[in-house]
Amino acid sequence: MPNFELEEEYQDLVDTVREFADEVVAPVSAKHDEEHSFPYEVVAQMGEMGLFGLPFPEQYGGMDGDYFALALALEQLGRVDQSVAITLEAGVSLGAMPVYRFGTEAQKEQWLPMLASGQALAGFGLTEPEAGSDAGGTKTTARREDGEWVVNGNKEFITNSGTDITRLVTVTAVTGTSTRGDGSVRKEISTILVPAGTPGFTAEKAYNKVGWNASDTHPLTLKDVRVPEGNLLGEEGRGYANFLSILDEGRIAIAALATGAAQGCVDESVRYAKERSAFGRNIGSYQAIAFKIARMQARAHTARLAYYGAASKMLAGKPFKTEAAIAKMVAGEAAMDNARDATQVFGGYGFMNEFRVSRHYRDSKILEVGEGTTEVQLMLIARELGL
């Protein structure tokens, strides 16, 4: 029989991060959301706890854990504050992980210790004004000149790209073309490390977003940005393929975050249903409310099993692309559906921004869009079925 109980080391991590989320993150979440301010003090404490280094070896300043440990931490943070959770998720899976997976030893030694400590953040510049789900439509270019890469282009929706502690953004850029067997021309896309502060590299004004208001997100402009040729990350022309593998892992992380959001909506609804009275009884005693919350719990439970399953295949070294797509889709929809139902349970209070469920309602929609839309996940699943 399969055992779905967490091992002691994982459970200790869950308990520690849950306590941190409830006692440190939650009390300041509404303030940062209202002010659209980045929670530097919370991020610093997460760095001290080692959360940014969870899946990296000790030799690079990490905690010598694995990706499942990161996912468990993200679930607990996602219960109370999705902005904080996505800061960790993007900092690790999109910022540091590409360097760890594809970087040279020199690149790893230069960047990973500061990123794993949480004292510095990195982002990944993939999306562009005309290249989102179709990332192969990348228009940013990089050419060699006098031993350097000269990068020109624009990026959109880049997380962790403009904070005071952002030190690096990895950007995808067209570095050449090749001819396919059928005579058509294919763009060769590479990934290049661009340190923050490089002349010509600008994080434009932060977005005014619907949700994730305490998360840092900017459009980026690269105008004749020059970096050494040694800043090529991975093999030239393999940047897009490499990033697709990063996205597969990232979908497990996003699924964990979304599961936390879905569970957070359950927890808040249960608490409120026991406290709020209507017509002389607690509203949780009415079947309409009780059944609504029961369905919410079923969604959260299903989402958790989905990302656990995808993570187990990944850690076993087995193909997990389909399972990651399923987990991301199921968990994202669970978060959005639970946020809607939780808002209904709270009634008028659910429409007030100081209540956590209202933030989940605004925050959760992006979980059906970011790091691969629901439609992209369906496409991947269908493709694996041979359709």
Instruction: State the catalytic residues.
Output: 371
Strands 166-179 and 121-125: parallel
Amino acid identity of residue 303, one-letter, is A
Amino acid identity of residue 5, one-letter, is E
Q: Which residues contact 271 (CB under 8 A, 6 or more apart)?
A: none
Give alpha helix (H) positions in the chain. Answer: 8-20, 26-35, 40-49, 67-80, 82-89, 97-102, 105-117, 239-275, 287-315, 321-346, 356-364, 374-384
Q: In a 3-state reduction of DSSP, which class is residue 37?
A: coil
In whole angstroms, what is the distance from residue 261 CA to residue 317 CA?
Answer: 28
Q: Which of 263, 267, 259 is nearest to 309 (CA)?
A: 259
Backbone angles phi, psi at 39, to 5 degrees: -85, 70
In whole angstroms, what is the distance from residue 120 CA to residue 32 CA?
Answer: 20
In whole angstroms, what is the distance from residue 296 CA to residue 269 CA?
Answer: 9
C-beta separation of 204 from 221 below 8 A: yes
Q: What is the DSSP letter of 22?
A: I
Q: Which of 93, 33, 95 is nearest to 363 (CA)?
A: 33
